[in-house]
Amino acid sequence: MKTLIVKYLPNPRSRTRKMLDAFLEEASGTEIEELDLCQDVPDLFSIEALGGYFGRITKAIPRDIPIPALAKMDRMTEQLKSCDVVVLATPMYNFSLPATVKAWFDSVMLQGDTFLPNPKGAFLGLMTGKKALVLMTAFGTYSTGDGTVGSLFGPTYDHGFSLAKLEFKFMGFSEIRGVLGEGMSPSKSEDVKARLLDESIEEVRSITQEWYGKKPLVVGEPAYGDASNVGAR
């Protein structure tokens, strides 16, 4: 089983990094490839790239013809297609994904590679059989509250953790899990933040042990199944 680690962790003291370290420790001895988005920055859709992409999906440009403007996107897409498990490790920025992480999703969500339209007008994800794990930390609390700032934001403010899981679902991943280390606000004591982080790390360890056959799941969220679960922690 091959695992692809996609990480965007510009802060050397990142709490998300500690969650990822726990995953790597539990998955040691397995085949792991890493993509560091701080070093290998995804391309944005330029005029040339967008023209090439639409030329490809409309069959105006044969798929076997290389398109230089899409070269990095194609490479990252093939990297994703070659793995069995993908682990995305990123912080939440301003209620959503960092721009670099969103650019990675835009790079790999390519029609004909990771999804297809179907005659019913919906879309068919092509990444069936694969698993995805989203590791994220955030200052605010999003799993509870009524959506107001006074209640520590609440679910309606989460457009990062939920979006990452939705993107994987769109591509057809068969099992999607997520661990959101929330409530890491600087206003909280270090003891409280350490406790919250420890709880998230234990959840990461449990999921990893389940997936890599070390011991059964004890804690952690249920497998991400139908669309009604989108955005749930």
Whole-model pTM: value is: 0.88
Query: Tell me, what's the pLDDT at 177?
Result: 98
- Burial of residue 56 (CB within 10 Å: 0-12, 13-18, 19+) is buried
pLDDT, tens digit, for every residue of 31-60? 999 999 999 999 999 999 999 999 999 999
What integer is the mean pLDDT of 73-90? Answer: 98
**Fold (CATH) for 2-229:** Rossmann fold (3.40.50)
Distance of alpha carbon 48 from alpha carbon 155, whole angstroms: 38
Query: Tell me, what's the pLDDT at 17?
Result: 97
Output the known binding site.
Answer: 92-95
pLDDT, tens digit, for every residue of 151-187? 567 788 899 999 999 999 999 999 999 999 988 877 7
Q: What is the largest CA-CA distance in the chain?
A: 59
Distance of alpha carbon 170 from alpha carbon 176, whole angstroms: 11
Query: Nearest-5° angle of CA 11, CA 81, CA 3?
Result: 50
What integer is the mean pLDDT of 84-102? Answer: 97
The secondary structure of the chain as a DSSP string is -EEEEEE----TT-HHHHHHHHHHHHTTTSEEEEEETTTSPPPP--HHHHHHHHHHHTTSS-TTS--GGGHHHHHHHHHHHT-SEEEEEEE-BTTB--HHHHHHHHHH--BTTTEEE-TTSSEEES-TT-EEEEEEE-SSB-SSS-SSGGGTB-GGG-BSHHHHHHHHHHTT-SEEEEEEE----TTS-HHHHHHHHHHHHHHHHHHHHHHTTSS---SSPPP--SGGGTT--
What integer is the mean pLDDT of 103-123? Answer: 93
Tell me the domain boundaries of the chain: 2-229
Q: What is the mean pLDDT of the chain?
A: 89
Output the known binding site for FMN.
Answer: 92-95
pLDDT, tens digit, for every residue of 59-70? 999 999 999 999
Query: Tell me, what's the pLDDT at 85?
Result: 98
pLDDT, tens digit, for every residue of 194-204? 899 999 999 99
Total residue count of the chain as it appears in this document: 233
Distance of alpha carbon 194 from alpha carbon 189, whole angstroms: 9
